[in-house]
Structure formats: structure tokens, C-alpha cells
Chains A and B, each alone.
Chain A
Amino acid sequence: MHTFAVRSLTRRHRSGDKVVVANDRIDLDVPAGEVFGILGPNGAGKTTLVRQLMGLLRPHEGSIELFGHDVVARPDLPARLVAYLGQSDLALAELPVVTAVETTARMRGLTRSAARAERDAVLDELELAGVADRPLGKISGGQRRLACVATALVGARPVLVLDEPTTGLDPRSRRAVWAALRRRRDESGVTVVLITHNVLEAETVLDRVAVLDTGRVIACDTPGRLKALVDADVRLELAWREDPPEDDPTVRWLGLDARRAGRRWTVRMPPERAREALALLTSGPAFAALDDFSLATPSLEDVYLSLGGTSRDLERT
């Protein structure tokens, strides 16, 4: 039994006098007990997709099943089984962190003592105990987002749907969130559906990922298998201290294929050629102009681009 079974999901919206297809015949299966990611650039239709999964939007075509229940026919159902984290926190904006987390737990049906216990446990887990009594509006943006993640984690729901939970978080807080999600998956078999546009997050925490581009799923598999799709090309990155000498033949043929961002060049090529290029560069006159270089195996961003992704919006931090 899959947590979510999505078939031919289509949703359109009007933009001016044009009709934009936000989700175009999407088919997805989210197995239970997995951290499932939805990766894509801004405007790919990720938020529209999860809002339909939560019964907040009605699909124009297609079906969604949550543990076998028809979500389109009963849009009130996801609220009972799923804990959702959206992008806006205005509803909780001026509440103290403890009150926000506790009242959300109470609204999920917990008794007062259970709510308090879970609230304390989650705040400790995410290291928010220090700002627990301060209103959400008076803490930093990252801590505010962390507090909102805390409201999604109370109540021990079997499914979590999180829309960009780690936006604005520093690396330490991000790891705390990932650890919390992994813990719930491992100990309680919780299914997590996570939206992200950050490739590093996708590679670190996801069991499987669906890559979205302009409303379509262009790939859906484990990060490892997706990366294997991009042959064995490696990514060579060069950072130049000053303008590289154009008379160097290595520099010239690298420059033909390179994607340039100021003085940073990125080239993809088979590993042997990359080794050769590096050997030539480091032993030639261009070495003086080279500030830094790195060699990396393909990332999900390369997967996305090679599958026809058109945006340059994916982050890699």
C-alpha cells in the first residue's frame, strides 16, 4: 500500500489571459516509510502538487489516493492523517514558540499532558529551547522556520508533507531537521514528502526523488540511480584568479564547452579527459592564473540539466 498514489494529475491556472499548466499528467507513487523528495526549480509546480495532495486544491484531472482513500472525493481526509508545513507562517506569527507548538499539538487531538510532553521533546530535538518563550516575530528567520518545522513534527502523524522546510536555515539547523526526519522514518515508519530546490539536501536526505520541470515529472528514482543516468561524466570547475591566457591550447578547448560565470568555469567531460586537462593545466603557463579547481562526480543538478531541465535555479549549497 503506497502512502500516496497519484495518477494523471493535471491542474491549470490562469495567468493574465493565458492558461498555464501547473501540473501536467503527473504519475507518482510514494511508498510508505520513505523520505520522498520533489526537486525542481522555482515555478516547476511543486507547491501546487503538494497542495493537491493535501486536499487544498482540486485537480482538474486525475486522481490522488492516500492509503487507498480518494483524496479528491474527501479533501478533508489529509488533514487527519498528514502533518503539513506550508511556506507562510502568518497564522502563528506573533505567538510564542511554546504556545505555537503546543496549540498545534492540541489541534491535532492530543491531550494537554501529551501535547506538553511532545512539545518539550520536539523543541529539545531542534535545539529551540533557548528561544522557546519568545514570539515567532522576534526571533531570527531561521529560528522561525525551525519553530514552524516543530509544529509539523508534533502529533506523531504517519505522514509529513513539508514545503521547503530548510529554507533559510544554517547548516547546523538543517542537519538537525534532517536527523529528526530520518529518526521518524527509522523508528516509526513515517513517510516524509519533502519539497526542495536545493540539490545538496536532495542528495543527503532523500530516499527517492521526483524531479519536476515546468509541471512534468522528468525523472523519479533514487538519487544514486538518477546520477548513474548521466553516464560517467565528471564536472570540472575552475576558478581563475585573473583572465586565463587565451594562447594556451588547453584553456582554449576548455573554454569552448565551459559554462562561464565571471571567472568561474564549469565543464562536464569524461573522467579521462578531465584528468588530462588538469594535468596540462597544472603543468602549463595557465597554472599561474588558476586560483582553484575541483573535480566532482555528477550531481542531481547535472541529472536535471541532462534530462532536459531548462532552469538554472537549483541551488547547490
Chain B
Amino acid sequence: MTVAPVARGGLPTTPARVARAQAAILDGAAMPAGAASATASATAGALAVDAVDAVASGVPVVPALPGRTPFPAAFVAVYRGQLSRGRVARMPLMFVATLQSVGILLLLRGVVSVSDVRTCAQVVAGCTVLVVAFVALNLLAQRFGALRAAGALDYYLTLPIPGTAVVLGTAASYATFATPGVVVTAFTGALLFDLPLSGLWILAPVALLAGASLAGIGAAAGLLAPRPELATVAGQLGMSIVLFLGIIPADRLPGVGWLVRDALPSSYAVDALTETFLPAVRWGVVALDLGVCALVALATLAVAAGALRRAGTA
């Protein structure tokens, strides 16, 4: 088997390109007129020896293997594609998510006393992360469940992109719509419960990391559930768990609740956000919580990428 010259610019060489390059070399001209690829001039020299050998020996040319598209380019492509999907359908969903959290805040405002700062902080943080969970667990599980049921995962699996780019790109496109809801919830909560607004810049990393870690779980649920209806149910269930364990202050949970709370990635995001509302912020604790969130995000995204491969090849 003869291996053809190295491909450049992501485009594999084909016999026609090699023939053109060889013609250029044999003619001694700088560039064949009408060479299509902009990289032809750069590769012409490199192609020289191999192309002449391959074609001269009469052995058919085998295209070289193009590399995999790197994560950043793939992520941006998936993100842009999914972002351009009809916005009309998603606005109402975001409205509902925000309304749900703000409604819970209003409800609890009547129950929790403002003087208990820690509890107030936890409640607001929990409701904020809930909006992220709605998107990451609910909507993503539904989307991937639907893709899998329609056999549409083939499209992604036959492109040279990492599975994590598909999961994150899709999640990020949904998250872009969730951002206003997250901000509105956090601000409303802080104002309602008399909490300082100064630390709210932390919303960015918190939402990002919570979103990434929960997205991995949501995508995996959607991809592995045997039927799309079950994927939807799993997403709803996950969101309810986040609601329950995120908003109820940790010290008021029953025994086993502690364990589950520690296992849930969103809890660390909630804890980090809670810290920033307190009068004496312990930035070390915040950093630690976010660090755990990041690690969990990496793990759940790897699981989701594996689930993507498995679901598509069932």
C-alpha cells in the first residue's frame, strides 16, 4: 500500500490533486493555473518526491488521513449551528424556568426570616442554580433523547469531531438562552432577601461550571434512556432533585440527604454561590467548591461523550 502525501488544511489529497501537483513539478512551473486549493503552493514542494514516486511507479494513490477537527473549532461549529435553531420555541421555556425560580423565591420569602443570612443565601443560590438545572438536565435530556430516537446521532458520529464538543456545544447553545434567567433570578433573590450584590460576578463561573457538569448528566440520561419519554422523565426527576437538595439548607436535610447532596454536582455550585452572599466571604472555600465542580464537569462530559458513541452505535 502506498501512502499519499500528507494532507493540509483539513482536506485529504485526492489523485487529481496529486496529479496537478506532480504536473507542476514536472513542468518546473511555480503553480499550475487554476489550482483550487490555496494550500497547494505550500504543499507542492512537500508533495514533490512522494507524488513523483507514487504516480511513476503506477501504484494507485491512497488518500492520507485528515486529522480530527480540534475541540475548539468543533465546539464553535456545533454551538453556532444549534444557536441558529428557531429562537421562538425556546423563549417561552426560558420564561417558565425563570418564573419557576422566582416563584419559589417569593414563596420562601414568606417563610424564611431575613435575619438568617445563611439560609437566605442558600435559598437564593439554590433557585439560581435551578434555572441552570432546568436547561442542562431537562432540555438537554429531551433533545438527546429525541435525536437518538430519530437516528439523527449518525450525523454527529460520522463527522471527525470529539463527542464532548457535541454535548458542550449543544448545552452552550441552550445555556445562552438561560443566561438572562439566571441573572434575573440571582438579582431578584438578592434584593428580596437583602443580600449583597457585590459578589454576583461569581455567577459567571458558577453557572458555567454547574451547567457543564449537569449538562453531562442530562445528555447521558437522554442518550442512554431506552425511550425518549423516559429521557424526559429522567431529566425532570434530576431537576426535582436539584430543586430539593439545592434549596433546602444542608443542615436541615435528613441523614441520607447529606450523602446524595454531596454526590450531586450542582450542590458545589450552590455552596460556592451561597458563600459569596455571606458578609465574610471565604474565597478559599469558594475556589474549592468551584474546583470540585470543574472536576465533576470533566467526568460527566466524558461519560456523556461515551454515551453518545454507545447510543449511536446501538
Query: Is A168 part of the contact surface with B, judged by Cβ < 8 Å?
Result: no
Contacts of B68 in A (CB 8 A): 76, 80
Query: Is B246 part of the contact surface with A, judged by Cβ < 8 Å?
Result: no
**Minimum C-beta distance from B86 to chain A (A):** 5
A80-B66 in contact given A1-B1, A56-B158, A92-B155 (Cβ < 8 Å): yes
Chain B residue total in the interface (Cβ 8 A): 45
Query: Is B282 part of the contact surface with A, judged by Cβ < 8 Å?
Result: no
Q: B65 touching A81 by the CB < 8 A rule?
A: yes
A109-B67 in contact given A92-B155, A96-B84, A104-B159 (Cβ < 8 Å): yes
Q: Which one, B5-13, B126-134, B210-218, B252-260, is touching chain A?
A: B5-13
Query: Is A62 part of the contact surface with B, judged by Cβ < 8 Å?
Result: no
A86-B151 in contact given A54-B158, A78-B158, A95-B85 (Cβ < 8 Å): yes
Q: In the bound complex, how far is the Cα of B313 from the Cα of A58, in angstroms?
A: 8
Q: In the bound complex, how far is the Cα of B17 from the Cα of A135, in angstroms?
A: 35
Query: Is B62 part of the contact surface with A, judged by Cβ < 8 Å?
Result: yes
**Minimum C-beta distance from A46 to chain B (A):** 15
Q: A90 touching B146 by the CB < 8 A rule?
A: yes
Q: In the bound complex, how far is the Cα of B158 from the Cα of A82, in angstroms?
A: 8
Contacts of A188 in B (CB 8 A): 14-17
A91-B152 in contact given A109-B160, A111-B9, A189-B16 (Cβ < 8 Å): yes
| A245-264 interface code vs B (CB 8 A; 1 in, 0 out) | 00000000000000000000
Q: A86 touching B155 by the CB < 8 A rule?
A: yes
Q: In the bound complex, how far is the Cα of B81 from the Cα of A4, in angstroms?
A: 32
Closest to A2 in B: B60
Query: Is A100 part of the contact surface with B, judged by Cβ < 8 Å?
Result: yes
Contacts of A83 in B (CB 8 A): 158
Q: A107 touching B77 by the CB < 8 A rule?
A: yes
Query: Is A75 part of the contact surface with B, judged by Cβ < 8 Å?
Result: yes
Q: In the bound complex, how far is the Cα of B312 from the Cα of A51, in angstroms?
A: 10
**Chain A positions near chain B (C-beta within 8 angstroms):** 1, 32-33, 51, 54-58, 67-69, 75-84, 86-96, 99-100, 103-104, 106-111, 114, 135, 137, 155-158, 187-190
12 sampled A-B residue pairs with Cβ under 8 A: A1-B62, A54-B158, A67-B1, A75-B313, A79-B159, A81-B63, A88-B152, A90-B146, A99-B84, A103-B77, A103-B81, A189-B14
